Structure 1
């Protein structure tokens, strides 16, 4: 049912009712949301499977100038080489020693490594910064 007053005002001011305009906007909005969700899933899958992962199993302060750390390295495949950074820290949290342990390609995917860190002065803790691969610069 149409209202004669509304029809008269629409004609007077040039307003035209477009029924398809709302449907078009809803369809475009839906496509935009769908594209955003697809991008979110792609990013989540990409970053949930890093090429290398590592964790510190334990450490021992051997002497005032040396520390030893045991780390576990897990690679996504056995052809990936990795480099793992280990730091020794003093009581004031300053870095007193650092070493990079290289994991050669071709070894087992999961392995335990020992890192011997030479320190400038007595250390109280050893920290694993993480491992990187040639294709990934973010330590994990």
Structure 2
């Protein structure tokens, strides 16, 4: 008396396939929802900044124009401007409270700067500079 494979080994229960499909679809929906939320959150920062221009006005002074865009609900915004020397070391740094639009700032330096960097601005609820 020879048994078939199905007789010897029980097949999977009938409920397993639909439950697996529902679980995979639910997990995919959760993942896509999170991906959409993360993409939206990263594409709409509360504050953004960009260096417009700068001038080196002497051995110990640099002036910079920084364009800042504040969203309507942005609070506690703070921006950073760094003066950088020829050897790429930071020789001056300024933190300031921005206004919407162009912000003209003066950075005092410990020695001659050759360039200016704007690492970005942060706001309440936005810890990554933009």
Relative to the length of structure 1, the TM-score reads 0.82
Q: How far apart, in 2, do the equivalents of 1:43 and 1:134 lie?
A: 18
* Counterparts in 2 of 1:95 and 1:21: CA distance versus 1, 3 Å: same
1:31-50 pair list within 5 angstroms: 31-50=26-45
* Counterparts in 2 of 1:87 and 1:14: CA distance versus 1, 3 Å: same
Q: How far apart, in 1, do the equivalents of 2:47 and 2:125 lie?
A: 11
Q: Which residue of 2 aligns with 1:134?
A: 124
For residues 28-78 of structure 1, give each alpha carbon's deviation from its aligned partner in whole angstroms, at most 9, with x where no partner exists.
111111111111111111221111011000100010111100001100117
Q: How far apart, in 2, do the equivalents of 1:16 and 1:99 lie?
A: 70
Count of residue correspondences: 129
Q: How far apart, in 1, do the equivalents of 2:124 and 2:28 lie?
A: 35
Q: Which residue of 1 aligns with 2:51?
A: 56
Q: How far apart, in 2, do the equivalents of 1:33 and 1:78 lie?
A: 32
Relative to the length of structure 2, the TM-score reads 0.88
Q: Which residue of 2 aligns with 1:118?
A: 108
Counterpart among 82, 92, 100 of residue 87 in structure 1: 82
Q: Which residue of 1 aligns with 2:13?
A: 18
Q: How far apart, in 2, do the equivalents of 1:98 and 1:72 lie?
A: 17
List alignment gaps of at least 5 residues for structure 2: none
CA contact (8 A) 2:92 2:109 kept: yes
